[in-house]
Amino acid sequence: MNRFNPVLIVAAISMMTLVGCNKAEEPTAQTPPAGSSISDTAATPAATTTPGAAATPAATTSPGAAATPATTTEFQGLQGVVTNTKTAVETGDFTKAKGEFDKFEDLWSKVEDGVKAKSPTTYKEIEDKADEIKAGLKASTPNKPKLSTALGVLNKDVTSVAKP
């Protein structure tokens, strides 16, 4: 009996642990911290569903609508990346500019097919400018005026295709 008590205690603790770990987590709304930029929050969900609600998209669009809410968020993220990169270039912080512009490709890959279908010419211009900016930021001595101009053109192109 003396040997059975420790085994019984360990078994009871193990069972309580397993039962506690099996509890389902409820979804919670995530809000970005105050002062965060759109590029920091682009990957967070826009909304959560309430318990018992059907799993449907947060918003629906009619057929033929050019931009969905997710796409609009991606375009805002692209514009934020371009703006932040341009600010860093203008202050001469090319390391920060390169780090900021590295986010561009992730966001661009999510919308580029739609842009290509909507406006092949603008798509090519965006691709060319993005390549030019990447190369300019990798240079040993980046050309500040040339990068600022390219970023301005890129921002204009992204803004033009972001409109529905």
- pLDDT confidence of residue 19: 58
- pLDDT confidence of residue 44: 45
Angle at the Cα of 97 (from 91 to 99), degrees rounded to 5? 150
* Model pLDDT for residues 139-163, shown as the tens digit of each residue: 888 999 999 999 999 999 888 888 7
- What is the model's pTM? 0.55
CA 74/CA 72 separation, integer angstroms: 5
Angle at the Cα of 155 (from 106 to 123), degrees rounded to 5? 65
Cβ atoms of 111 and 69 within 8 Å: the answer is: no
- pLDDT confidence of residue 150: 92
CA 136/CA 49 separation, integer angstroms: 44
- pLDDT confidence of residue 56: 41
Look up residue 23 and give its DSSP letter. Answer: P
* Model pLDDT for residues 96-105, shown as the tens digit of each residue: 999 999 998 8
| Positions in the chain whose pLDDT score sits under 70 | 1, 4, 7-8, 12, 15-70, 164
- pLDDT confidence of residue 134: 92
Angle at the Cα of 91 (from 89 to 94), degrees rounded to 5? 40
Q: Which phi and psi angles does 107 have, rounded to 5°? A: -70, -40
Q: 130: which 2 tokens?
A: 């993005």
- pLDDT confidence of residue 163: 77
- pLDDT confidence of residue 151: 93
Question: CB-based burial of residue 73 (10 Å sphere; 0-12 exposed, 13-18 middle, 19+ buried)?
Answer: buried
